[in-house]
Homo-oligomer: A and B are copies of this chain.
Amino acid sequence: MDQRTEIASLGEFGLIDHLTKNIDIKNSSSLVGVGDDGAVIDHFGRQTVLSTDLLIEGIHFDLSYTPLKHLGYKSVVVNVSDIYAMNATPTQILLSIGFSNRFSLEALDEFYAGVYAACEAYNVDLVGGDTSSSQKGFIISITAVGEVSPDKYVKRNGAKVNDLICVSGELGGAFLGLTLLEREKKIFSETGAQPDLEGQKVIVGRLLKPEARKDIIEYFSEVEILPSSMIDVSDGLSSDILHICKQSEKGCVLYEDKLPFNEEAKAFAYKLQLDPTACALSGGEDYELLFTVPQQDYEKIKLNPSISIIGYITEHSEGNHIITRGGNKHELVAQGWNHVK
């Protein structure tokens, strides 16, 4: 990044040409992509799923420890994760960015390199967007489009009493990664000491380069599971299971000893005297899938090592609880990340 080309030297349309010249359209349904007023998408008796996210510097990300390429990758991932959480397959994205004059063309190229890498990984086409200057900082808006067979989409409101509550992967890692990077940033600003990220690859990776659970949706299709409800874990397990319970008008019981942790993350939590369970419940950005299935799907769920059964759905009147390792029953409260402070 030694060279610095001022974006102003390209103009808006020159910039768009520059940023989109390497687009590779993969889906035959992408009839019209970037370069027109809108994108046209063909359908063959399927249904379209749309999701959008706004990511703002200083609110959602800190560029002092987030490489722009990782930010581009993550921006796509958080959106396709929403599409998977509907049991759909992402097919296209639209990406808008706003940026102050502090950003060079090379910086935007880094960002887009991450975006394109994620498009490749998740087989989605970038089909539109907008670019603008901003008065302050970097602003990202992504809309993802997905498709799903008629009526196979999964909402948050379908959980039934006695359904199993399941989650993919491991929880709390992204929150621990954030805690580590914030701590190192503080140490650096106070002492100038270089960050010590030794042995923390997993949790830093969970924060800076999360992946969406494409594999889980593919597994559902393969073994014919249709979850009764689903959401992605973006605000924290506690907040997200409460969304399912509220919208399904049900209660829940979670078991602390069933929550899936990564060993490295757990060790780091103890080192900081943090409770891994609290990190899983209140830490966000894990982008795992949280879903409910009827009990008869138990055998199918058991066969997938990436899925943990962590509790079950109850009557609404029974409330929302977690049973601790010691056998105590605590009420679940939403303590997820809140971007409206």
Contact = CB atoms under 8 A, between A and B. Distances in A.
A179 B155 CA distance: 49
Contact of A339 (B12, B54, B144, B339): B12
Contacts of A97: 54
A114 to B, nearest CB: 19
Contacts of A92: 50
A130 B53 contact: yes
A132 B340 contact: yes
A39 interface: yes
Contacts of A88: 38
A41 interface: yes
B137 A135 contact: yes
Interface residues of A, number: 74
Contacts of A46: 43
Nearest to A246: B13
B340 A131 contact: yes
A134 to B, nearest CB: 5
Interface string A58-93: 111000000000000000000000110110100010
Nearest to A83: B38
A156 interface: yes
A58 B10 CA distance: 22
Interface stretch (A145-153, A189-197, A199-207, A311-319): A145-153
A312 B31 CA distance: 28
A188 to B, nearest CB: 22
A164 interface: no
B50 A145 contact: yes
A36 B156 contact: yes
A131 B52 CA distance: 10
Given A132-B340, A232-B37, A47 B42 contact: yes
A93 to B, nearest CB: 10
A138 to B, nearest CB: 11
Contacts of A273: none
A161 interface: no
Interface in A6-63: 7-8, 10-12, 15, 31-32, 35-43, 45-60
Nearest to A151: B31
Contacts of A48: 40-41, 43, 48, 145
Given A45-B45, A50-B92, A59-B98, 19 more contacts: A15-B340, A36-B86, A37-B156, A37-B232, A38-B51, A38-B85, A38-B88, A38-B146, A40-B153, A42-B47, A48-B145, A50-B128, A53-B96, A53-B130, A56-B134, A101-B341, A131-B340, A132-B340, A141-B141
